[in-house]
Amino acid sequence: MWNVVISELRKLRRPTLFLGTMGAVVFFSALFSSLLFLLIDSPDGNADRGRMVGREVLSLAAGGVQGFSSVGGFLGIIALCVFAAQTAQEYTYGTLRNILVRQPGRLRVLAGKFIAMKLFAIVMIILSALVSLSASFILAPRAKVSTDLWLSADGRHALLTTFINIIISVIGFGTIGMVLGLLLRSPISAISFGVLWLLIVENLLIAVKNSLQNWLPGAQLASIASGGAPTGPANGIQYSHALFVGGIYVAIGAVIASYLFVRRDVSN
């Protein structure tokens, strides 16, 4: 299995894939974090969906990771695209048959590819954290936001918690991307379906009936990345609920895709 991991990592480090993906991570991490501080006095809001995150919130111990937390959902979409493309292209290029000649254990091949792509996703998250935190520290004085609590014990705990939540969320999105790649066996189809569902279909369904946000997979994984809604509000998704429902979606999809990967013919 570890030979499969090494082989997959060699593909993931291709300059066109690695530099392009990491470049997008750097750009959007810096953008999301910068807007929190540059638009802090804007009446239209400085966070997603027009929310206002004021100086009082940004000055708290968890204020330093607000930007990092807000970019978590976008990192998940990137992971979904990478996982889907790397899985489905084995069928498109016909390389899966050659891989199985060297390693006939299909589940070992699948596990090795999954581990390699998880490592790739973790590198993305670490880079995003560094860029987001750097942008926050640089722009905080300009926005008159105190950073005294950011490096305290509570601040470090908030960073660790956010980092773990984003890893869970991103791996969940990536797993869904891998499932789509195995089911559709076409990179374009898998990516298109995943992105359209997450960015358009789910938002339309939630706009029509707000209670659906408690049951749609993308909403659950995005809520995990942000740490869930504070206890009490009626219009948010609680962290434990998002973790439970999102985990069910990911687990069921992984079981179905694994079964099909083992049973179906390897050709597209």
Q: What DSSP line would sit under 203-242, residue for residue?
A: HHHHHH-GGGGGT-HHHHHHHHHTT-PPSS-SSS--HHHH
For position 260, what pLDDT does the model report?
85
Stretch among 47-51, 88-92, 214-218, 241-245 having the lowest mean pLDDT: 47-51
pLDDT at 268: 55
Q: Which residues contact 113 (CB under 8 A, 6 or more apart)?
A: 4, 5, 8, 86, 87, 178
Largest CA distance in the chain: 61
Rounded mean pLDDT, 160-172? 95
Are 235 and 256 within 8 A, CB to CB? no
- Give tens-digit pLDDT for 170-191: 999 999 999 999 999 899 999 9
91 and 188 Cβ atoms separated by less than 8 Å: no
Whether the pTM exceeds 0.75: the reply is yes
- Say what percent of the chain tops pLDDT 90: 62
pLDDT on residue 234: 47
Question: How confident is the model over 228-257, as a mean pLDDT?
Answer: 81
